[in-house]
C-alpha cells in the first residue's frame, strides 16, 4: 500500500487504487471478467493503467422485486445497473500488518437468482472485517434471463455460475496483494447465493478455488427435478435478443415467471442452476460429486427457524390463510413449518450428513433470532443483519421491527466470531447455543 487515504495495491491484475473508510480499506468495482450478452465470461487481462477502485460495482440489470420491495425498500439505492457488471469489491482492515495473512470470505448474494447485487448497502461488511480481521470479497454476477436460463438452442445455461467461478479464479490470483490468504478462501452464500455456492462444490474447474463454504438458507429443496419447468420457462421467454436494449430482455422475465406457476413450490425460484449443463454434473451424478468433494471442503450450513414466514407475511395469497376464522393462525404456523422444512431445513440436514459421511467436516446451525416488533419472527434474511450491514442500511427496512441496532449488533457479535473462526480454521466448538440467537451442532 502507499498513500493512507488512497492506498495502492500492486496485484497481478494491475495496480488497484482503493480508499480508506474509517476502520477499513475498500477497493470496489474491480472488473474480474467481461462477457457479451449470453456468452461465457472471459477473464479480465492485467491492466496497464491504475485501476480506480473507488465506486461500487454496478448491479446486473433486473426487474423490481414487487414482493420484497415493501419490506426491504429500494435495494439498489445508490447503485447503477449495467450489463458490464462482472465486478468484485474488496474490504480489508485499515490497520492490517504487512505480515498478516487474512482469511478470505467471498460473498455470494441471494435474491432468487433474479435480484440483488454484491455492493448493496445491506451487505456492508465493514463491521465483520474490522472486528474479526478478515478480507471480504463481494461478487456481482449475472442474474435472471441474463445469467440463469439457457439451453435447447438458446443461450448457454449456468452463465451466472461461470461468472462466480471466474471471480474465484481472480481471487486466487490476486487476493494476496490485499493481505488475503488464497489458501483460506471461504464462500459465504445466502439464499440463491448459497444454492450457487453449494453447486460450485461440484462444478467443473473449481477444485482448489476455495477451502470452505458457509451456506445460509440454501433452497436446496427446490434444486432437483427442474428440467420440465426450465423448458417451460425458456419457451415462455421465447427467443431473446443478443444485442440492443436490455429492457427488452427484462420485460420477458415476468411473462416467463407467470408461465411456470403451475409447477408449484419450485416456481417460487424458477431461475437457477441446471444439472447436466456445463459446468455441472448430471442430476443423477450430483450426490456422487458432492461426496467426492467432501474431504476437500469444510461446510457450515443452516437456516432460520421460520424461513418461509417472510413469504407468508408478504404474499397476498398466503396472507389470506391468516384471515381464515378461528384456525387461520394455526394454519399459517403449519404452512410455515412444513414449507420451511421442505425447501430449507431437511435439505440442509441431508447435505450436512452426506458431507460428513463422505469424510468432510460439516456443521449445522439454526438461527432463532426474532426482532421485537416485527411480524416476521425468525424468517428468511433475519440472519443477515447479524453479520452484515449498518444501522442506517437496515433502518430503511422493516425486517428488524423496533429492535435497537445496539441489540442486533450485540446479538451478532458471537455469530461473527464463530463464522470468522470457521473461515480461519474450519473448526467450531460444538455444540453451541447463543440464547435467542443461534443453535450450532456437528453435521
Q: pTM here?
A: 0.95
Q: Are 117 and 109 in contact (CB under 8 A)?
A: yes
Give the Cα separation of 77 and 186 in Å (integer).
28
Helix H segments across 137-277?
144-147, 159-174, 192-200, 227-237, 247-250, 252-259
Q: What is the pLDDT of residues 77-96, one digit of tens each?
A: 889 999 999 999 999 999 99
CA angle 134, 88, 17 (to 5 degrees): 80
Cross-strand bridge partners of residue 33: 43
End-to-end CA distance of the chain: give it in Å, rounded.
41
pLDDT tops 70 at residue 319: no
User: Which residues are tagged catalytic?
Assistant: 191, 307, 380
Higher pLDDT, 439 or 372: 439
Give the Cα separation of 318 and 331 in Å (integer).
10
pLDDT tops 90 at residue 70: no
Question: Mean pLDDT for the chain?
Answer: 93
* Predicted local confidence at residue 315, as pLDDT: 61
Residue 47 DSSP symbol: P
Q: Omega before 64 cis (within 30°)?
A: no
Give the Cα separation of 369 and 411 in Å (integer).
8
Mean pLDDT confidence for 225-244: 93
| Cβ count near 168 (within 10 Å) | 26
Mean pLDDT confidence for 195-209: 98
Sorted by where each begins, the domain ranges of the chain are 8-224+276-442
pLDDT tops 60 at residue 316: no
Lowest mean pLDDT among 175-179, 292-296, 322-326: 322-326
* Residue 430, SS3 per DSSP: coil
Higher pLDDT, 152 or 351: 351
Q: What is the pLDDT of residues 145-163, one digit of tens each?
A: 999 998 777 889 999 999 9
Q: At what angle do helices 346-357 and 286-293 cross, to 10 degrees?
A: 60
Exposed e or buried b for every residue in 293-330, given b needs 16+ CB within 10 A?
bbeebbbbbbbbbbbbbbbbbbeeebeebeeeeeeeee
* Residue 109, SS3 per DSSP: coil
For domain 8-224+276-442, give the CATH superfamily. Alpha/Beta hydrolase fold, catalytic domain (3.40.50.1820)
Cross-strand bridge partners of residue 364: 301, 441
Give the Cα separation of 387 and 73 in Å (integer).
19
CA 342: distance to chain centroid?
20
Cell readout for 149 is 436460463
Give the Cα separation of 311 and 332 in Å (integer).
11
Grid coordinates 432463532 are at which residue? 368
Report in angstroms the alpha-carbon separations of 340 from 114, 168, 321, 353. Answer: 21, 31, 16, 19
* Residue 42, SS3 per DSSP: strand
Give the Cα separation of 227 and 5 in Å (integer).
51
Grid coordinates 480489508 are at which residue? 92
Q: Omega before 371 cis (within 30°)?
A: no
* Predicted local confidence at residue 93, as pLDDT: 98
Amino acid at each position: 500500500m502507499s498513500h493512507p487515504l488512497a492506498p495502492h495495491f500492486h496485484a497481478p491484475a494491475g495496480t488497484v487504487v482503493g480508499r480508506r473508510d474509517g476502520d477499513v480499506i475498500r477497493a470496489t468495482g474491480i472488473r474480474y471478467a467481461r462477457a457479451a450478452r449470453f456468452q461465457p465470461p472471459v477473464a479480465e487481462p492485467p491492466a496497464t493503467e491504475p485501476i480506480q477502485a473507488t465506486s461500487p460495482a454496478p448491479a446486473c440489470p433486473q426487474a423490481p422485486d414487487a414482493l420484497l420491495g415493501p419490506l426491504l425498500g429500494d435495494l439498489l439505492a445508490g447503485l447503477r445497473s449495467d450489463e458490464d457488471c462482472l465486478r468484485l469489491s474488496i474490504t480489508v482492515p485499515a490497520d492490517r500488518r504487512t505480515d498478516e495473512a487474512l482469511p478470505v470470505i467471498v460473498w455470494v448474494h441471494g435474491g432468487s437468482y433474479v435480484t440483488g447485487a454484491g455492493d448493496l448497502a445491506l451487505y456492508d461488511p465493514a463491521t465483520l472485517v474490522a472486528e474479526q480481521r478478515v478480507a471480504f470479497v463481494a461478487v456481482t454476477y449475472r442474474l435472471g434471463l441474463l445469467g440463469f436460463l439457457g439451453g435447447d438452442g438458446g443461450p448457454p445455461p449456468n452463465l451466472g455460475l461461470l461468472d462466480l467461478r471466474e471471480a474465484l479464479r481472480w481471487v486466487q490470483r490476486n487476493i494476496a496483494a490485499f493481505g488475503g490468504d488464497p489458501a483460506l478462501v471461504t464462500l459465504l452464500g445466502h439464499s440463491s447465493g448459497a444454492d450457487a455456492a453449494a453447486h460450485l462444490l461440484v462444478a467443473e474447474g473449481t477444485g482448489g478455488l476455495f477451502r470452505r463454504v458457509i451456506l445460509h438458507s440454501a433452497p436446496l429443496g427446490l434444486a432437483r427435478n427442474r428440467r420440465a419447468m426450465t423448458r417451460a420457462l425458456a419457451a415462455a421467454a421465447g427467443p431473446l435478443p443478443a444485442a440492443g436494449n436490455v429492457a427488452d430482455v427484462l420485460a420477458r422475465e415476468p411473462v416467463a415467471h407467470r408461465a411456470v406457476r403451475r409447477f408449484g413450490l419450485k416456481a417460487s425460484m424458477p431461475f437457477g442452476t441446471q444439472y447436466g449443463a456445463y459446468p455441472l454434473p448430471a442430476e443423477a451424478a450430483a450426490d456422487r460429486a458432492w461426496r467426492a468433494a467432501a474431504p476437500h471442503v469444510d461446510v457450515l450450513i443452516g437456516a432460520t427457524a421460520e424461513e418461509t414466514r417472510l413469504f407468508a407475511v408478504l404474499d397476498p395469497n398466503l396472507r389470506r390463510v391468516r384471515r381464515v376464522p378461528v384456525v387461520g393462525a394455526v394454519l399459517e404456523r403449519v404452512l410455515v413449518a412444513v414449507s420451511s422444512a421442505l425447501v430449507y431445513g431437511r435439505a440442509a440436514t441431508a447435505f450436512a450428513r452426506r458431507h460428513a459421511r463422505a469424510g468432510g467436516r460439516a456443521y449445522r446451525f439454526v438461527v432463532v433470532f426474532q426482532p421485537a416488533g416485527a411480524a416476521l419472527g425468525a424468517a428468511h434474511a433475519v440472519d443477515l443483519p447479524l453479520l452484515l450491514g449498518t444501522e442506517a442500511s437496515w433502518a430503511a427496512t422493516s425486517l428488524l421491527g423496533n429492535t435497537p441496532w445496539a441489540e442486533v449488533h450485540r446479538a451478532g457479535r458471537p455469530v461473527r466470531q464463530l463464522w470468522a473462526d470457521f473461515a480461519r480454521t474450519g473448526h467450531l466448538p460444538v455444540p453451541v447455543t447463543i440464547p435467542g440467537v443461534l443453535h450450532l451442532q456437528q453435521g
